[in-house]
Structure 1
């Protein structure tokens, strides 16, 4: 039972999806901070306000809604960078090492590509026999 669970967890698509979700959550935090502390004060400048920190007051002093809080945004950027480093060094690197010991290459560089002469799509693997987009036969390499 535990061997089956280990095989399930070590599948490439599971780890790839997990890393993708983690990156999406961290990116979500970064985007939320950008909108909350940079974009929203610019938009609410027309309404009117006093805050201290790294940033500028765009309206009346004391109005938190129009304070351009760059300190909070920079802290979200630092959070994002640290979080991505942790994900890379604690999840991706060990996973690549384990998969390499199993004889599999993950998170590697894509192979060489060629262009389809019929539809001009440029994302075909070099050894493809048919085009992924138009289905035409490809000349042998």
Structure 2
């Protein structure tokens, strides 16, 4: 039983995922610090005056529980976009390149699609013999 667990842990896929998660966590911390220290002050300044941020007070002035903080949402959106760009360009692109050199295709783009004549779903692979939604037999793909 322990041997099977050890074999599972030592598979290449598990190691790659673990390293990817650790790197993503490190980038997440870095990007969070960037948005908190650089983006948030810029967004707060956009509101002007002595406002706590970009947004509206829905209740009594000074009550943070009823403050609709649009700036925090914009900051989180920027954080997400920057984080995903960093993960893509620093993890996914090099991984695709290394795997391509090994002869393995990863993160493959979808091939050509066709439309099912029965249910009109437009996302069937060109080589599909049956529709995944209605089960209708599909005409043979043109070669």
TM class by smaller structure: 0.5 to 0.7
Q: Provide the C-alpha distance between the structure 2 equivalents of 1:116 and 1:72, rounded to a whole number of angstroms.
A: 44
Stretches of structure 2 lacking an aligned partner (at least 5 in a row): 1-5, 29-50
- Partner in structure 1 of residue 77 of structure 2: 77
Residues 97 and 120 of structure 1: CA distance in aligned 2, closer, same or farther (over 3 Å): same
Q: Which residue of 1 aligns with 2:63?
A: 63
Structure 2 partner of 1:92: 92
CA separation of 1:120 and 1:82: change in aligned 2, threshold 3 A: closer
Structure 2 partner of 1:5? 10
CA 1:92–1:105 in structure 2 vs 1: closer, same or farther (change >3 Å)?
same
Matched residues in 2 for 1:82 and 1:136: separation? 44
Check the 8 A contact 1:118/1:136 in 2, yes or no.
Answer: no
Gaps of 5+ in 1: 27-50
Q: Structure 1 residues 78 and 124 mapped into 2: Cα distance closer, same or farther (>3 Å)?
A: closer
Distance 2:129 2:15 in 1: 31
Counterparts of residues 1-141 of structure 1 (less than 5 Å): 5=10, 7-9=12-14, 52-133=52-133, 134-136=135-137, 138-141=139-142
Q: Give the drift of 1:135.
A: 5.0
TM-score normalised to structure 2 length: 0.56
RMSD, aligned CA? 3.5
Alpha-carbon distance between aligned partners in 2 of 1:56 and 1:88, rounded to the nearest angstrom: 35
Question: Which structure ranks higher in relative contact order (CA pairs < 8 Å, sequence separation ≥ 6)?
Answer: 1
Name the SS of the counterpart of 1:68 in structure 2: strand
Q: Distance in 2 between matches of 1:140 and 1:67?
A: 58
User: How many matched pairs?
Assistant: 108
